[in-house]
Amino acid sequence: MTDGALASGKTLGILGGGQLGRMIAQAARGLGFKTAALDAAADAPALQVVDFPVVGSVDDPAAARRLAEVSDLLTLEWELIAPAALEEAARLKPLHPAPSVLAVIRDRKTQREFLARRGFPQTEWGAAASAADLPFYPVIVKRRTHGYDGKGQARLASPADAAASADIFAAPCVWEKIVPFEAEISAILARGRRGETAVYPVAENAHRDGILRTTRAPARVPPAVARAAEELALEIASSLGHVGVMAVEMFVLPGGGLLVNEIAPRVHNSGHYTLGACATSQFEQHARAVAGLPLGPTSASGPALMVNLLGDLWENGQPDWSALDGIPGLSLHLYGKSSARPGRKMGHYVVVGPNADEELARADARLSALARRA
Ligand X SMILES: Nc1ncnc2c1ncn2[C@@H]1O[C@H](COP(=O)(O)OP(=O)(O)OP(=O)(O)O)[C@@H](O)[C@H]1O
148 binds ligand X (CB under 6 A): yes
Q: What does 284 interact with, of Mg ion, ligand X, none (CB < 5 to 8 A by kind)?
A: none
For the chain, the C-alpha Rg in angstroms (whole number) is 20
Is the Cβ–Cβ distance between 233 and 246 less than 8 Å?
yes
61 binds ligand X (CB under 6 A): no
Distance in Å, CB of 249 to Mg ion, minimum: 5
Distance in Å, CB of 249 to ligand X, minimum: 6
Is the Cβ–Cβ distance between 265 and 293 less than 8 Å?
no
79 burial class (0-12, 13-18, 19+ CB within 10 angstroms)? buried
Q: Tell me how far apart the alpha carbons of residues 104 and 114 are, in angstroms, rounded to a whole number.
A: 7
371 binds ligand X (CB under 6 A): no
Is the Cβ of residue 92 or residue 179 nearer to ligand X in the bound state? 179
Of 35, 261, 274, 308, which lies in the binding site for ligand X, with binding defined by CB under 6 A? 261
Give the contact letters, 211-240, x = binds to ligand X (CB under 6 A), - = no.
Answer: -x----------------------------
Which residue stretch of 66-74, 146-154, 328-336, 353-361 sits at the interface with ligand X (rule: CB under 6 A)? 146-154
Q: What does 206 interact with, of Mg ion, ligand X, none (CB < 5 to 8 A by kind)?
A: none
Is the Cβ of residue 48 or residue 110 nearer to ligand X in the bound state? 110
Is the Cβ of residue 71 or residue 111 nearer to ligand X in the bound state? 111
Distance in Å, CB of 96 to Mg ion, minimum: 22
Distance in Å, CB of 206 to ligand X, minimum: 9
Is the Cβ of residue 173 or residue 330 nearer to ligand X in the bound state? 173
80 binds ligand X (CB under 6 A): no
Q: Number of residues interacting with Mg ion: please give it, by CB under 5 A.
A: 2
What part of residues 239-258 is at the interface with ligand X (CB under 6 A)? 249
Q: Tell me how far apart the alpha carbons of residues 285 and 161 are, in angstroms, rounded to a whole number.
A: 44
Which residue stretch of 39-47, 59-67, 174-182, 195-203 sits at the interface with ligand X (rule: CB under 6 A)? 174-182
Of 59, 235, 262, 315, which lies in the binding site for ligand X, with binding defined by CB under 6 A? 262
126 binds ligand X (CB under 6 A): no
Q: What does 107 interact with, of ligand X, Mg ion, none (CB < 5 to 8 A by kind)?
A: none
Q: What does 88 interact with, of ligand X, Mg ion, none (CB < 5 to 8 A by kind)?
A: none
207 binds ligand X (CB under 6 A): yes
Of 31, 80, 82, 178, which lies in the binding site for ligand X, with binding defined by CB under 6 A? 178
Tell me whether strands 139-143 and 52-55 are parallel, antiparallel or unpaired. unpaired
Is the Cβ of residue 43 or residue 262 nearer to Mg ion in the bound state? 262
Distance in Å, CB of 5 to ligand X, minimum: 31
Give the contact letters, 237-276, x = binds to Mg ion (CB under 5 A), - = no.
Answer: ------------x------------x--------------
Distance in Å, CB of 105 to Mg ion, minimum: 12
Three-point CA angle 261, 220, 204, nearest 5°: 35
SS (H, E, C) the chain: CCCCCCCCCCEEEEECCCHHHHHHHHHHHHCCCEEEEEECCCCCCCCCCCCEEEECCCCCHHHHHHHHHHCCEEEECCCCCCHHHHHHHHHHCCECCCHHHHHHHCCHHHHHHHHHHCCCCECCEEEECCHHHCCCCCEEEEECCCCCCCCCEEEECCHHHHHHCHHHHHCCEEEECCCCCCEEEEEEEEECCCCCEEECCCEEEEEECCEEEEEEECCCCCHHHHHHHHHHHHHHHHHHCCCEEEEEEEEECCCCCEEEEEEECCCCHHHCCHHHHECCCHHHHHHHHHHCCCCCCCCECCCEEEEEEEHHHHCCCCCCHHHHCCCCCEEEEECCCCCCCCCCEEEEEEEECCCHHHHHHCHHHHHHHHCCCC
What residues line the site for Mg ion (CB under 5 A)?
Answer: 249, 262
What residues line the site for ligand X (CB under 6 A)?
Answer: 123, 140, 142, 147-151, 176, 178-179, 184, 207, 210, 212, 249, 261-262
